[in-house]
Amino acid sequence: MNKSLIIIGIVLLVIGIVAGAFITTQSHLFGLYTTTSTPYAAYMIPLLVGGIILIIVGALTGKKE
């Protein structure tokens, strides 16, 4: 078990979840209407997949003896 890869994978998972949940709101035309968008949603899937892969690789690799 490689703990550093697992920790990096968990960090990537958390960053991916935050990137997908981050919402920005802009008000236009004197506040008559607002628009919301998720500007970092495109980064969510690669970060989640990378985090999962790092966790799996970190859990399956063993230390050299």
- Predicted pLDDT at 50: 97
- Predicted pLDDT at 57: 94
- Predicted pLDDT at 42: 94
Distance of alpha carbon 10 from alpha carbon 52, whole angstroms: 8
Does residue 65 register a pLDDT over 90?
Answer: no
Does residue 64 register a pLDDT over 70?
Answer: no
- Predicted pLDDT at 29: 86
In the chain, where the domains are located: 3-60
> What are the residues whose beta carbons fall under 8 Å from the beta carbon of 55, sequence distance 6 or more?
5, 6, 9, 10, 13
- Condensed to tens digits (0 to 9), the pLDDT of residues 2-45 reads 899 999 999 999 999 999 999 999 998 887 899 999 999 999 99
